[in-house]
Amino acid sequence: MSKNKLDPITRDAIDWVLHLESGRACSSERQVFKAWLAENPEHKAAWQRVAGLVKNSMADLQSVDRRSPGQMQAALKALLDKPSPVRKKALQGCVLLLLLGLGAAVLVDRVVPLAGLKADQYTGTGERKTIELHDEPLSDLIDALRPYQAGVLRISPEAARLRVFGVFALDNTAHTLSALAQTLPLKVTRYGPWLTVIDVVR
């Protein structure tokens, strides 16, 4: 039995139909697809031909999937495992866009710490502010220290119930935690720069 070879344009059209129908295509991939479609009238003709065939096949596959769940996902995975050169280029564009976005987020985080945006109180870089916490549990002070602490700052439930009074520098967490340990029945344990645990002295 002889195999009919597909021409490269039809093969690309099949890849595009399957990828776009899968719901995995990002915006830059859709832009590459639109450019591919407009590049050559043969691309558009192949797309229309393949899209019609695939749409009917997808409808059949969806009806099978309703009777036997998971069949459509398995078929799409098998069909999408090896991307075409055109889709590889689009995927590279998506990765580049993602990396640029992450790089921009890191730069913004250096100027305006993103973790501090959800804080109740906030100071800008170099800004000092006095915030009074009247008769509040220790956990509120620790919450206020967290944006200034490198690594994770954990407090046990028993320690969180302690009440604290005083004026504390938020920008010097080591000094503040030391002062708390000297005046309250607390133990502050540091595990390198990554984790600081506050607990009651037992």
Mean pLDDT of residues grouped by 10 in the chain (202 residues)? 66 80 80 90 86 65 64 60 64 66 68 64 72 70 86 90 85 90 93 89 88
Q: Are residues 20 and 106 in the same domain?
A: yes
For the chain, give the longest Cα–Cα distance.
88
0.75 exceeded by pTM: no
Whether residue 123 lies inside any domain: the answer is no
**What pLDDT sits at residue 147?**
84
Whether residue 3 lies inside any domain: the answer is no
Q: Are residues 71 and 102 in the same domain?
A: yes
Q: Are residues 107 and 13 in the same domain?
A: yes
Q: Are residues 91 and 137 in the same domain?
A: no
Q: Which domain holds residue 65?
A: 8-111
Whether residue 98 lies inside any domain: the answer is yes
Task: Return the closest-CA partner of residue 54 out of 14, 110, 26.
Answer: 14
Start-end of H helices in 68-150? 71-80, 85-111, 138-145
**What pLDDT sits at residue 122?**
67
Overall number of domains in the chain: 2
Phi and psi based region of residue 190 (left: phi greater than 0; alpha: psi -120 to 50; beta: remaining): beta
Q: What is the CATH number of the domain that holds 153?
A: 3.55.50.30
Strand ranges (DSSP E) for 121-164? 152-155
Whether residue 101 lies inside any domain: the answer is yes
Q: Are residues 57 and 29 in the same domain?
A: yes
Cα–Cα separations (whole angstroms), residue 2 to 5, 11, 18, 53: 9, 18, 25, 22
Whether residue 59 lies inside any domain: the answer is yes
Q: Are residues 137 and 105 in the same domain?
A: no
**What pLDDT sits at residue 1?**
42
Which run of H or of E encompasses 160?
helix 157-160
